[in-house]
């Protein structure tokens, strides 16, 4: 097996471990209160299936499916950071109406529930997935 093949296997393993851990964490946190909260759970489930499919078949269709899902992971990561940050800003404004500007931003970023930057893991997983399928050519 060549270096690129080994690297792809390593990236697939990292991706599968990261997606599994993140999915379990979201389920344990009961991240299912509304439709928006289900987006990462559905994406992670689909991602696990797609990466396992691609690791098994090495087909162009499975690679394209993984790539599309990973772009959706990146978008979900950005959207999640926005939603978490916005929720924290609202909470901080309710708690202390005098907060504004930089102080408000820092308070919102430092909040632990919901953690403002936690959805960034979806962005990271998406980028790993894009790297995994980068310039993929169907293998026999």
Question: Which tens digits make up the pLDDT trace of 36-70?
Answer: 999 999 999 999 999 999 999 999 999 999 999 99
Q: Rounded to a whole number, what is the distance in angstroms from the first to the last CA of the chain?
A: 13
Asked, for residue 62, whether it belongs to a domain, the answer is yes
Asked, for residue 135, whether it belongs to a domain, the answer is no
Total structural domains in the chain? 1
Crossing angle, helix 60-95 and helix 120-133, to 10 degrees?
Answer: 170
Asked, for residue 121, whether it belongs to a domain, the answer is yes
What one-character DSSP code corresponds to residue 125? Answer: H
Asked, for residue 8, whether it belongs to a domain, the answer is yes
Residue with tokens 């098994």: 56
Task: Look at the pTM and tell me if it is higher than 0.85.
Answer: yes
Using CA atoms, how far apart are residues 118 and 120, in angstroms rounded to an integer? Answer: 5
CB neighbours of 50 closer than 8 A, spacing ≥ 6? Answer: 62, 65, 66, 69
Domain of 46, in residue numbers: 3-130
């Amino acid at each position: 097996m060549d270096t690129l093949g080994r690297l792809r296997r390593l990236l697939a393993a990292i991706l599968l471990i990261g997606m599994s851990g993140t999915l379990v964490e979201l389920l344990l946190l009961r991240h299912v209160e509304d439709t928006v909260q289900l987006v990462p759970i559905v994406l992670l489930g689909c991602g696990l299936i797609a990466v396992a499919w691609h690791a098994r078949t090495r087909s162009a269709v499975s690679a394209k499916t993984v790539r599309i899902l990973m772009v959706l992971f990146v978008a979900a990561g950005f959207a999640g950071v926005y939603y978490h940050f916005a929720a924290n800003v609202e909470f901080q404004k309710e708690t202390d109406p005098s907060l504004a500007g930089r102080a408000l931003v820092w308070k919102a970023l430092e909040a632990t529930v919901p953690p403002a930057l936690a959805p960034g893991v979806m962005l990271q997983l998406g980028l790993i997935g894009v790297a995994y399928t980068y310039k993929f050519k169907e293998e026999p």
